[in-house]
Structure 1
């Protein structure tokens, strides 16, 4: 049956809708605009006269432009150098547009501009910073430029007196002039930057008088050999370097002089020498000294020992297996490691290799107050025939260890023996979390047998919990579907005994 709508009724309905939108309070309209992508918020200026300038009252802008190569279809014959040049001109025009929008805006508290790995005119960046500096900005994130370009950070940068958080991803060779000062900056992230020289690096950090969080991510060592991070107010430091970088070599040093540092996360090439100074307040550390090429074994071990020696006051420590690998090369000097008197939580992640087991046991001998131990597998070479060597048991097993966690448990005999040994020699143990492989979970008979063996020696005060594994490289793709089905049937939730 045909349906008709009264013209008058339609006009009334349309009029009411228009009235509802136009009569919303300005604060509500601004909140709606703040939920839109920036480009869409700006486009609302064409809706009606009331909307023309409304977007200029927004306080947060996020301009995110993809690399032009991502938009180019390799099957398109028009993807020539001229096309890339057109894209370059387009993106520089976009920077001009961002500058004009900032100039017209009444207040901008948060600004993010990302144009990934594109050739940008330095003058355009200067202009953008100039327009942004007139606002009392609290958050600024810049990710733009190309490594082949050079850029001098303009003095207008020092006028961001209200800036609280800065993400500096300028893919240039960056010159930092003297006089840069951020009196309120508490969070600084520096990524993908090539500093012109060591002075430029130091000038940036010397201007951060109240900095609390610092992240250095994949910036280039091309013009730098030695850096000194001496910031008394720093609470959190994250250092991540690209281990594929060809400009990393021996004799590069990072001095960390941060007496109030609480958290340290370090993932980088082990050939970089870290010199920790006054890390007396350190609480949490995560150390991953990985390498992709054969290193200078003795030198990397020396660097690893020096870094860990500066963390003797840490309470929670995460170590990647690569870090233990580095230490293994000079296992005869492991006695140089400090006593970790305050350490209560040790987490070793990634798969432990046979040659790093001894290193781990040496570290455990230096953790008298350890309460929680997380390891990816049993310590294989710590077995002596049928039993473990009792007089080599770390003292923390007998005095303080109350929780043990295995990341990937297969139910092999040596694993069962290791857990049984700990159950017999850790009187304060309260909980063991065992993350089982999919194959073990699917084998109900074997899982029951493991449970029974642990039950025979388990203390009444200790609970053994079985969980699905975090990861499992044992099962093939062909059997993964079957294992996942078994997983849901056998262990819908953690089992315990």
Structure 2
């Protein structure tokens, strides 16, 4: 019962109970989950001491979840020892955040063959060296942040070792200098999130064409992208895709044409999506730099909800081209308003009327609307 009570507390508060009595002194070391974060409340020497004690004195029960944030400096051997011990306790959820790394970090081979690990969250701004034998037989959620992939062969080996993976998140990963091509095929994958745009990644991409990623999404339900299209991503076999979000946070005027073609290839792979959220200025600025792509936009025959971020010029060719390619659209959403200077009824900017307006359209939502724009529409 006492352990049940302690398990409801943050790790630092559970440790504080050790001063209550002899009986409580080591009770916290038998907790099923731990979270240690180096910082003002837990300085480096204290963190090292308390993690060592937790792993040394832990009782016979397995560890359900373990997380730590650590400034490595020259202590990569200590990180390895911790991870090896944690894996031996049949951990199910593992979260590791490493900072200020002065020497290579070689994660133990036992991590990559764990049979109990279900969730792995790894933030490691250094070369991510992996062994040749990789088999996460139970891993369902994987998040990699700031890792630098070493070479094509080992990276491909990594993304082939997830037989039951359902949720994959890649944030500010660096593969622009070495990795040229990688395919991601995990048969159970449901959610894929890609975020790129970190300072180091952007700097590295300036002298590289990036990496070409092929994602085979036989069961993919949700795809999220946020970044600058530093790499090329193509989605294959995405007939099950329900939702996609594409957000461009910034773009370089020197790479507009390349960005336009990468957006086009991505959209082509998302043509079966049912709900799409997309940054409008992708069409207005990026596709304007490659106008030949407007006539080649894919047909979104299954799309029923289209949501735009950014103020939309509803008379622009990119916007109208997109609408004409969504014949079954039912809901159109403008999250950040529409251009207020247009008079569509007068100028006839919506002629010919997109097919969805004549058949399926049920709802149009406009947020952050200002001005006195009036649109006369008769069905």
> So what's the TM-score if we normalise by structure 2?
0.89
Classify the secondary structure of the residue corresponding to 2:183: strand
1:278 aligns with 2:237: yes
Distance 1:344-1:110 versus aligned 2 partners, 3 A rule: same
Tell me how far apart the structure 2 counterparts of residues 62 and 243 of structure 1 sit (CA, whole Å): 26
1:246 aligns with 2:203: yes
Structure exhibiting the larger radius of gyration computed from Cα positions: 1
Q: 2:137 matched to which residue of 1? A: 183
1:34 aligns with 2:7: yes
Distance 1:387-1:323 versus aligned 2 partners, 3 A rule: closer
Deviation by residue 1:2-54 (Cα, 9 ceiling, x = unmatched): xxxxxxxxxxxxxxxxxxxxxxxxx1x22331232212212322311221332
1:104 aligns with 2:57: yes
Q: Is the 8 A contact 2:38 2:69 kept in 1?
A: yes
Find 1:165's aligned residue among 119, 130, 146: 119
Classify the secondary structure of the residue corresponding to 1:367: coil
Tell me how far apart the structure 2 counterparts of residues 125 and 170 of structure 1 sit (CA, whole Å): 12
Tell me how far apart the structure 1 counterparts of residues 113 and 21 of structure 2 sit (CA, whole Å): 36
Aligned length: 370
Distance 1:97-1:385 versus aligned 2 partners, 3 A rule: closer
Flag structure 1 segments of 5+ consecutive residues without an equivalent: 1-26, 72-86, 428-497
Q: 2:16 matched to which residue of 1? A: 43
Distance 1:158-1:96 versus aligned 2 partners, 3 A rule: farther
Q: Is the 8 A contact 1:147 1:173 kept in 2?
A: no
Q: Is the 8 A contact 2:159 2:183 kept in 1?
A: no
Q: Is the 8 A contact 2:74 2:101 kept in 1?
A: no
Flag structure 2 segments of 5+ consecutive residues without an equivalent: none
Tell me how far apart the structure 2 counterparts of residues 95 and 299 of structure 1 sit (CA, whole Å): 47
The alpha carbon displacement at 1:97 in A equals 3.4
The alpha carbon displacement at 1:328 in A equals 2.4
Tell me how far apart the structure 2 counterparts of residues 143 and 298 of structure 1 sit (CA, whole Å): 36
Tell me how far apart the structure 1 counterparts of residues 95 and 198 of structure 2 sit (CA, whole Å): 25
Q: Is the 8 A contact 1:148 1:173 kept in 2?
A: no
1:259 aligns with 2:213: no
Q: 1:312 matched to which residue of 2? A: 271
Find 2:247's aligned residue among 262, 278, 288: 288
Q: Whose helix proportion is higher, 1 or 2?
A: 1
Q: 2:181 matched to which residue of 1? A: 226
Farther-moved stretch of structure 1 (133-142 vs 99-108): 99-108
Runs of 4+ in 1 over 4 A off after TM superposition: 379-385
Distance 1:411-1:383 versus aligned 2 partners, 3 A rule: closer
Distance 1:154-1:31 versus aligned 2 partners, 3 A rule: same
Farther-moved stretch of structure 1 (357-366 vs 198-207): 198-207
The alpha carbon displacement at 1:243 in A equals 5.3
**Counterpart mapping for 1:393-472 below 5 A:** 393-412=353-372, 415=373, 417=374, 420-421=375-376, 424-425=377-378, 427=379
Q: Is the 8 A contact 1:167 1:190 kept in 2?
A: yes
